[in-house]
Amino acid sequence: MIKTLHKYASPMHFHAVARAWSAPLLWLAAALFLAGLVGGLVLAPADYQQGESFRIIYVHVPSAWLSMFAYLVMAGAGATSLIWRVKLMDAIARAAAPLGASFTALALATGSLWGKPMWGTWWVWDARLTSELLLLLLYLGYMALQSAIDDRRAAARAGAVLAVVGVVNIPIIHYSVEWWSTLHQPATITRLGAPAMATSMLIPLLLMALAFQLLFFALLFIRVRSELLEFEQRASWVREILRQARSR
């Protein structure tokens, strides 16, 4: 088991795995997106309180989930890199940051679009919204730090420290609606007991959540491949890949 993990922690082997899985994951994500959007936008009934406006959850909720998940991937990879000095983890952390920032920005934008008709304003300094905005700033700070330091190893270590420290914001985002009185509605799916959502609305949401998850991994693999090629540009396996690409 340890030998297998060590093998796939090698940039060369992980690059091969990522190359093989990127396209299938993208196609599967596209199929789930289609099914989720048809179910959520066409088949699901309108909400009895929010009317048609509720349908934005099929983009907003999965993007909000992914905004936190991507940060945990980034911070986990950074922590692993700090402890065991694994090059692959540096590449994963760097690759996850722009993806997480994109999902966070999408969550904030769709939340504002929903908030205008529901709350009468685009933005409030609600605990959930404010902590999500802080998450976006953490992503942007991580990427700025990576760009500001020329030495990639030093940049990776500095970014990892920032990412690990910022993990404290994740439980704040998740539990903010329970810890403080906020405008943001409480959990309807992950709460204890049955979800407070009709099955006809829930299934498309779960399909969209899975589609977003697969899209994240597909794009992560693509970005990690690029990072590894740049990290290992002098390695023989990278030169072989470039030689094969030129001969096509």
Query: What is the DSSP code string of the chain?
Result: -HHHHHHHTSHHHHHHHHHHHHHHHHHHHHHHHHHHHHIIIIISPPBTTTBGGGGGHHHHHHHHHHHHHHHHHHHHHHHHHHHH--HHHHHHHHHHHHHHHHHHHHHHHHHHHHHHHHHSSS----HHHHHHHHHHHHHHHHHHHHHH-SSHHHHHHHHHHHHHHHTTHHHHHHHHHHHS--SSPPPSSSSSSS-SS-HHHHHHHHHHHHHHHHHHHHHHHHHHHHHHHHHTTTSHHHHHHHHHHHH-
Average pLDDT over the chain, rounded to whole? 90
101 within a domain of the structure (yes/no): yes
Has residue 16 been placed in a domain? no
Q: Would residue 15 count as lying in a domain?
A: no
Which tens digit of pLDDT belongs to each residue from 85-140? 888 999 999 999 999 999 999 999 999 999 888 888 888 888 889 999 999 999 99
Residue 4 lies in a domain: no
In a domain, 6, yes or no: no
Is residue 230 situated within a structural domain?
yes
Decide if 61 is inside a domain. Answer: yes
Q: Tell whether the model's pLDDT for residue 7 goes beyond 90.
A: no
Overall number of domains in the chain:
1
Model pTM score: 0.92
Q: Could you tell me if residue 2 is inside a domain?
A: no
Report the greatest alpha carbon distance in the chain. 62
Residue listed under structure tokens 């906020």: 182
Residue-level pLDDT at 192: 47
Q: Which CATH number does the domain housing residue 50 bear?
A: 1.20.120
For 171-230, the pLDDT digits (tens) are: 999 888 777 766 666 666 655 455 667 889 999 999 999 999 999 999 999 999 999 998
Q: What is the mean pLDDT of residues 151-170?
A: 96
Q: In Å, what is the CA distance from 243 to each residue of 18, 96, 129, 228, 237? A: 19, 28, 49, 16, 10
Using pLDDT thresholds of 50, 70 and 90, give the confidence band for residue 63. very high
Domain that holds residue 149: 22-247
Other C-beta atoms lying within 10 Å of the C-beta of residue 156: 25
pLDDT band for 247, please (50, 70, 90 cuts): confident
Which position has the token pair 């922690």? Answer: 9
Q: What is the mean pLDDT of residues 43-63?
A: 90
Straight-line distance from the first to the last Cα atom of the chain, in angstroms, rounded to the nearest whole number: 37
